[in-house]
Amino acid sequence: MNKSSLKIGVVQQAVASNDKDVNWVRSAEQVSALAEQGCELVMLQELHSTLYFCQQENTGFFDLAEPIPGAATAYFAALAAKLNIVLITSLFEKRASGLYHNTAVVFDRQQGLVGKYRKMHIPDDPGFYEKFYFTPGDLGFNPIQTSVGKLGVLVCWDQWYPEAARLMAMAGADMLFYPTAIGWDKNDTTAEQSRQHDAWKTIQRSHAVANSLPVVVANRTGFEASPVEGDPGIQFWGQSFVAGPQGEMLAQASSDKEENLIVDIDLHRTEQIKRIWPYFRDRRIDAYGELTKRWRDE
């Protein structure tokens, strides 16, 4: 990148219904506010068009999916063009009948849609039944070239895997981005909730450290009731954040409020950090072959 700094914005929102038109307008208002404050790149959270429907396995929710291109991509492409920004969005992609993905889509100013990333790691836990809805991605770990640099866009559960961050960095990503929807089971103890949140923040900061790259995370906030009787629902923990290339916290949102983050990223600093801490120089690639195995059996 030729620029010395880049002002980025992160939108943290709660979602109250599956009315996409309402949710798109609400998101667009915050994206516009960030653009007015000089942000050239803005990111929305995972599956921001609807409630987090994966709390239940319900075939009716496949009706929420969108084709690419489709109404969602047309709406956000127009928004990015109007505001002259790079915009990272997230949607439930209908690729074909019976074939769906959790997909991040990137728009670049007047260029429109310039790239997409299909979530590679798909969770399947109580309240997060994503394997029922999403086919694992097949586009690999490839940064998306934009007017503000090469963006290593990943999605939520991908954030727990150092391999994903490393492969994006090895392909030349200038920054890593994680649109996210993660929260607490209300049955968990306060101590367990604290451990989960600390692990979530630590693993992503570690990706920044290990790859000498800024990491940008947008998580949703608010409580979303489960459609399953007796299920406690999910309290999304918010706390969207931006970390610098040594894992330092540059900004962090609250746990329970809708809010935006604005951060000036020092683009030259990433280069300096890589010179001081040359992890890529010292990697023993001759000894890592077994990383492609599921497990190392004796």
Which residues belong to the active site?
46, 119, 156
Say which residue the tokens 């299909």 belong to: 118
Supply the DSSP string of 205-242, one letter for each residue.
Answer: HHHHHHHT--EEEEE-EEEE--SSTT---EEEE---EE
Distance of CA 158 to the CA centre of its chain: 9
Two structure tokens written together for 240: 């969207």
CA dihedral 127→132→135→137, nearest 10 degrees, is 0
Distance CA 110, CA 263 (A): 23
Q: Which segments of 138-231 are extended strands (E)? A: 144-146, 149-153, 175-180, 183-185, 215-219, 221-224
Strand-pairing partners, residue 107, are 87, 113
Distance CA 176, CA 216 (A): 6
CA nearest 211: which of 259, 143, 178, 163?
163
Backbone angles phi, psi at 72, to 5 degrees: -65, -45
List the strands of the sheet with 241-243, edge to edge: 144-146, 149-153, 175-180, 215-219, 241-243, 249-252
